Amino acid sequence: MPTAIAVTSADLVLPAPDRHTPSAAVLHPPDRLDLEQALAETAALLDLHGHLLVVVPSWLPAPAVRRLHTVRAILETDRIALLGIDLPPLATALLVRQLRQLTVCDFSPGIIASAARLLSHYIHAGALLSSVAKLDRVPVDLKAHARSWVSGAQFAVLANPTPHLVKLGPGAVLPPGPAFATHLSFARGQLPGDWIAAELAPAWQVQGVLENPLPADSPAWWGTPKLIEFAAAIPDIAVLYQLVASVRREDCRWCGLELIGDRCGFCATQIPALSRT
């Protein structure tokens, strides 16, 4: 069986792009499962798949994060990777789907785990907001805060790969888009309009546009329910494969698993720069 990908909420599991891409397991929070049940849930995934990659978003409540670490410690296994991801919710869901796609390729669990950091840099994630007054994930200057109180104001905000904020209006320059082929996904909150399809998609020259349900954590992440979240990502498994395969591989000096980049996805050991030259 392929390496298992797990998430902490069901809305991070987007529909598979093809019949070959497996789904992701959903690990239940501490208020839904007690520790004994969580141990059984995780052990069953390990028995079936061999290795488990858990995507841990930055907004996950502390008790849920502690539960994940507790389960891994009690099971005394080096076959669980806890992948900390600092992306907005919709972009996190797209990254999860990319990792799911990679599990059917001939990559080892260590390569897939460390590929999460690599692929994160190739996701352009942002939102159209009616206000940035409560936005604390992206730098906001005082002028933008003041403009948030103007009725009808809208802001295009890019959180990844480089923060960027612009108030929409005549002469406004849209946030820079990807310089490679992507599909654009978006999810509607309480903000109406077709700005994504009419303005952003043509400006970014995306190859496809797809609407998804808004993740439950998006309003809190962006500081307002009046939003349309968007993210552009590489959809083609062949391109993802080539991107990951082109990076030099080496073995982790601590756990022995394969990796790419400067950090092991399973034990988080840093790889000295000299060893990568």
The answer, yes or no, to whether residue 170 has pLDDT greater than 60, is yes
pLDDT in tens, 180-221: 999 999 999 999 999 999 999 999 999 999 999 999 999 999
* 42, containing H or E segment: helix 35-49
Cα R_g (the chain), whole angstroms:
19
In degrees, rounded to 5, the angle at the alpha carbon of residue 233 between the alpha carbons of residues 80 and 250 is 45
| Paired sense of beta strands 124-129 and 183-188, if any | unpaired
Q: Provide CB contacts within 8 A for 179, sequence distance 6+.
A: none
Q: Which domains does the chain have, with CATH numbers?
A: 4-122+237-270 (3.40.50), 124-233 (3.30.1180)
pLDDT in tens, 26-76: 999 999 999 999 999 999 999 999 999 999 999 999 999 999 999 999 999
Q: CA-CA distance, 225 to 191, in Å (whole number)?
A: 8
In DSSP notation, 99-162 reads HHHHTTTT--HHHHHHHHHHHHTT-EEEEEES--TT--SS---HHHHHHTTSTT--EEEEEESS
Q: How confident is the model at residue 171 (pLDDT cuts 50, 70, 90)?
A: confident
Whole-number pLDDT of residue 149: 47
Q: What percent of the chain shows pLDDT beyond 70? A: 94
The answer, yes or no, to whether residue 172 has pLDDT greater than 90, is no
Q: CA-CA distance, 70 to 87, in Å (whole number)?
A: 24
Are the CB atoms for 92 and 60 separated by under 8 Å?
no
Is the whole-model pTM more than 0.85?
yes
Whole-number pLDDT of residue 275: 54
